[in-house]
Amino acid sequence: MYLKDARAIVTGGASGLGEATVRKIVSSGGKAVIFDLNKEKANQLIAELGGGNVYFLATNVTNAREVEANTNKAKGFLGTINMLINCAGIATPGKVLSRKGVMELSQFEKVVQVNLIGTFNVIRVVSSHMEHNEENEEKERGVIINTASVAAFEGQIGQAAYSASKGGVASMTLPIAREFASKGIRVMAIAPGLFETPMFEELPESAKEALGKSVPFPNRLGLAEEYARLVESIVTNPMLNGEVIRLDGAIRMQPK
């Protein structure tokens, strides 16, 4: 499968890793529908790229009915859906026990709801459309790429909720890939390390530079474009299936 043939849904596609992926798809000649809640950023991106190949649907990935309705709308725009890239997520830090007291259960629930359940919600709906696609020459009907994190493997202090949610994304990759194998749908996950995304926007440059220096090589923060390049590699290589690929410059996160 090639990005020029992409008829993709990209969650979190208005900024960060998702935005870079949308840019990559459209510049390659494919089409994408953005599922996001940031209308302003999505419309800015569409204006820049041109509205013919990219479309925005305000979507809360945790809402079952909304995802079902918007997937139907996306299919109407795209004609078919053969790719799903799940980038929507939040990273609300918090210690279980802090000076402020015990973490509110709702804080943990929200992170898991968006990052894990939201990812699964979109997978279950989109895959029900993908399974009816015609096979290509590799007998593929679709490719699903989820976004985990190195925090799934080396969560830091204050990342209990985030690590749990991303660990769930990593862990469900293989069983879903095995289930979808008979349908010709590949399922992969990317586990980024320290990337220059909106999650780091409020940090001062000195702090971002210090974080970048902790990466063995290249000695900097990752770029969203590098995530998008890995998406392209996964899409074009049919043997990549059921695996979580770390994209991290060889970093192994310390406790804090």
3-state secondary structure string across 192-210: ECCECCHHHCCCCHHHHHH
Q: Report the C-alpha gap between 164 and 28 in whole angstroms.
A: 35
Q: Report the C-alpha gap between 17 and 50 in whole angstroms.
A: 19
Report the SS3 class of residue 236: helix
Q: Cα angle at 11 between 6 and 15, to 5 degrees? A: 100
Q: Report the C-alpha gap between 112 and 122 in whole angstroms.
A: 14
Of 2, 55, 162, 227, catalytic = 162
Answer yes or no: are the C-beta atoms of 12 and 64 closer than 8 Å: no
Catalytic site includes residue 2: no
Q: Report the C-alpha gap between 129 and 114 in whole angstroms.
A: 22
* Residue length of the chain: 256
Q: Which residues are catalytic?
A: 162
